[in-house]
Amino acid sequence: MATAFFFGEAGAGLFFVAQFFDFVLGMAVGLAMVLFGKGGGHLIHLGKPSRGWRAFAKVSTSWVSRGLAAIATFSVFGTLHLLQTMYGILPAPLAWLVAGIAVAACLVIMVYQGFAMSHSSAITLWSTGLMPITSLIFALLNGVLLTIVLGYNAPFLTNHAETLRLLQAAVIVLILFGLVTILSMLHAARYGSEGGRESVRLLLRKDFAATFVPLVIGLGMIVAMLLLVLAPKSLATMIAVTAAELTGYYTFRILVFKAGTYDPVMKFGRSFTR
């Protein structure tokens, strides 16, 4: 599921950013990442595909259902928006409506996973309002970086140097926001419950510390930001920055799943004896 989360957030972020520049390649890649990486991941994890329609039955109460509905909506309206950008097949009012629906579906895909995890009240590490914010920040960060790399030699960047500088500045800001959000999430878990403290220990001191600290914080944030600030401005640099950030982000997604722990059963038992 971590891989599906990765493709869903990164793909939606790429489509969201690319469509502001009418960047067809970015939109097409983002759409494919969501449809095949995210949608395909959900299909693989369906226990009984014949009953998959039931996943859409609780849109009013379930963020998972809302997310699946957003993916289905995005598959239609995202494709129409892409075709409109390429060929201008729709009248202006309808084109604006299609674009609005596609962008709205993108935003839901970016954040619904975070909202779904934040409703897991028994797992302190996940049960925080920071989880959907983290999803949104990393989706936008991935989208900006992939747009720069895929469109580095495209006219919307080569003919507008200020646009490239603006996107690179946005990368630095989003990395800083992501770092603060992750540290805040760990702080909240550390002082939330015994299960939360164990999750933090797993990430920072025990089983997963050897990958979380070097890859998520070190490579994905600090190294990526230093490369962007200090290295020569070139396509090779941007590829290195993007590779470092995506590696850190994918590692974060995997380890947050693995480190989610429940409170000890005895803790609840003691609360009933008081």
Question: pLDDT at position 45, please?
Answer: 58
- Decide if pLDDT at 145 tops 90: yes
Q: Which of 47-51, 119-123, 240-244 has the lowest mean pLDDT?
A: 47-51
Q: What is the count of structural domains for the chain?
A: 2
Of 119, 147, 174, which residue sits at a domain end? 119
Q: In the chain, count H helices and then E strands.
A: 13, 0
The pLDDT tens digits for 183-205 are 999 999 999 889 999 999 999 99
Average pLDDT over residues 234-260: 96
Q: Where are the alpha helices (DSSP H) in 20-91?
A: 24-32, 40-44, 63-87
pLDDT surpassing 80 at residue 158: yes
Residue pair 33/7 in contact by the 8 Å Cβ criterion = yes
Q: Which residues of 76-87 are buried (b: 16+ CB within 10 A; e: fewer)?
A: ebbbbbbebbee
Are 34 and 2 members of one domain?
A: yes
Q: Determine the Cα–Cα distance for residues 59 and 160; give it in Å rounded to an integer.
A: 42
Which pLDDT value is given to residue 51?
A: 56
Q: Which two tokens stand for residue 63?
A: 């963020």
Q: At which of 100, 119, 138 does a domain end? A: 119
Q: Are residues 147 and 108 in the same domain?
A: no
Is 50 exceeded by the pLDDT of residue 240? yes
Q: What does the alpha-carbon distance between residue 50 and residue 79 come to, in Å, rounded to a whole number? A: 26
State how far the Cα of 209 lies from the Cα of 29, in Å rounded to an integer: 33
pLDDT tens string 47-86: 555 555 555 566 766 788 888 899 999 999 999 999 999 9
Looking at the structure, do residues 110 and 132 belong to the same domain, yes or no? no
**Same domain as 175, residue 115:** no
Rg (alpha carbons) of the chain, rounded to whole number: 20
Q: Are residues 115 and 125 in the same domain?
A: no
Whether residue 230 is found in the same domain as residue 163: yes
84 lies in the same domain as 150: no
Are 138 and 104 found together in one domain? no
What pTM was estimated for this model as a whole? 0.91
pLDDT at 92 over 60: yes
Mean per-residue pLDDT, 115-122: 88
Res. 106 pLDDT band, cuts 50 70 90: very high
Domain boundaries, position 103 = 1-119
- Are residue 80 and residue 110 in the same domain, yes or no? yes
Per-residue pLDDT reduced to its tens digit, 259-274: 998 876 545 444 444 4
**Averaged pLDDT for residues 91-103:** 96
Is 154 in the same domain as 133? yes
* pLDDT computed for residue 271 by the predictor: 46
Let me know whether 221 and 201 are in one domain.
Answer: yes
133 and 85 part of one domain = no
- Tell me which of 76, 96, 119 is where a domain ends: 119
Q: Both tokens of residue 81?
A: 């928006």
Q: Which residues contact 111 (CB under 8 A, 6 or more apart)?
A: 132, 135, 136, 139
Q: Give the pLDDT mean for 197-218.
A: 95
